[in-house]
Amino acid sequence: MFVRNESFGSFIRSYPIVSGIVAIHLILFLWMFLFWSFGGYIIYALGLGINSAVAQGELWRLVTPIFMHVSPGHFLFNSFALVLFGPALERLLGKGRFISFYLLAGILANIATYYIGGLGYSPHLGASGAIYGLFGIYLYMTLYRKDLIDRDNSQLIITILVIGLIMTFVNARINVYAHIFGFIAGFALAPVFLTKIKRYTPQYQHVFDNDEISFNPNRWKKRRLSPNMKKKLLWVLFALFVMIGLFYR
């Protein structure tokens, strides 16, 4: 589910929404930091999440922080997280549902930041609230829609969530409200977006007899990891690295 085998071109064709969001991340980041004097400062000033400005009617600030980042590490780790965990959901939900879910989770995370953080809360940027929404729907699938996610990926999600819960409260610069309520929003929205999603199962399956006798000629040979298993292990380690980077950026 989380292991990517596509080339760059096929990834863009297969997952246009994830690719488009990452492209927006990149364009806005480069514009802000390479062309600060040519409109970059204006983009930063207008897109920053400022609760006091939202209170004065600048409601777009509930949306724009989802696509903007404050540093190279911030941009890279959030974009990597989206590339890792977004494609499976884009394929599962479809393009329209996926972008609707992603934006709703991010907006609800920013609304929670506005109401709970108060008018004096620090300005904020980043896609973390929306990304935590993805973790919320994955946890819902792990608990209530086991037909949509296998055991290995469920264990990976649980591991990531444990790390995320711990690290969220370690770094003082993290928007705790966005992380927590983005996750809650994703979990709450999951049954709505997964209502009509059904996993395809083959019509015919081989039935194994418990008394069936079989022989594996390689039974006593030393087991080695297949290339596919090695690739999967590397992606799992990379996913954990990305998640840790989200909190120590």
Residues assigned a catalytic role: 128, 179
Find the DSSP H helices in 86-150: 87-93, 95-117, 128-144
* Tokens, residue 48: 């920053």
**Longest Cα–Cα distance in the chain:** 76
SS3 of residue 124 by DSSP: strand
Angle (deg, nearest 10), helices 40-47 and 16-34: 120
Rg, C-alpha atoms of the chain: 21
Inter-CA distances, 35 with 21, 23, 28, 30, Å = 20, 17, 10, 7
CB 15 within 8 A of CB 84: no
* Tokens, residue 94: 């479809």
- Strand-pairing partners, residue 124, are 49
